[in-house]
Amino acid sequence: MKPCVAQTIYDSFSLENKVAIVTGAGNGIGKATAKMLAGFGAKVVACDIEEESLAETVAEIMTDGFTAMAIPCDITNRDQVISLVERTKTVYGTVHILVNNGATMGGGKPVNEVNEKEFDRLIDINLKGVYQFIYAVLPLMRNQRYGKIISVSSVAAIAGDMTDIHYAAAKGGVISMSKTLAKELAQEKINVNVVAPGLINTRMMHEWEIEPALERFHRIGEPEDVAATICFLASDASGYFSGQVLSPNGGEYML
């Protein structure tokens, strides 16, 4: 590779000196994203409610020679979220990148099995949790007039699904909220985008029957497929992307 080409790639995709918060970083997409962001040079603050798996993620990043810090956090708890952002500021100075990945599944329930408590739980985690982190990091991003907010939705929010109206509703809300924020924050040089994956080989996905999908696609997506999309949106190469929904789904749904 010619040195000039390597330099262009580096300038476009490097995350050196960037600070990134990744929620749901204990496993699956969040873990793959935290590791990939760190590999591109970011200082990663990994967040998850599962402390043991979170510690494993950060240990793997540091073993590879990159920078990361683990902060356990319940994304539905505003005090914990604000405390995490304040600690990040104390240690690393600011936040440049926010990846809202923390979420839970609906369990494959038809509408008559989704009670009010379960509906509220999915909204709290999958939608309000995203809002909590955006609310907490925005003052920093506005002050520096720079920010990359990437929230993980789902192809179910775009195309619907056979079950789990509460999951689809929460993930659909993530898209609508992000598009509105993209317009609101455009003049402040803060990019807001969404990644809406299809079937991805994670622990959460295995709550579903995946065999029918294997008959339609040549493979199920891996967490790294989504992480690569997130890293693109976190980089300066995506500077003209805002309010967009990128959907790595293997052809499951075509925009």
Q: For residue 23, what are the β-bridge partners?
A: 47
147-152: strand order across its sheet: 68-72, 43-48, 19-23, 97-100, 147-152, 190-195, 245-246
What's the pLDDT tens digit per position in 31-62? 999 999 999 999 999 999 999 999 999 999 99
pLDDT of residue 103: 95
Whether 167 is catalytic is yes
Q: Which of 10, 135, 167, 253 is catalytic?
A: 167
Q: Which amino acid is at 199?
A: L
What's the pLDDT tens digit per position in 61-70? 999 999 999 9
CA atoms within 13 A on the CB side of 200: 27
Domains of the chain with CATH codes: 14-246 (3.40.50.720)
Mean pLDDT of the chain: 92
Tell me the three state secondary structure of residue 17.
coil
pLDDT of residue 193: 98
Q: What is the CA radius of gyration of the chain?
A: 18
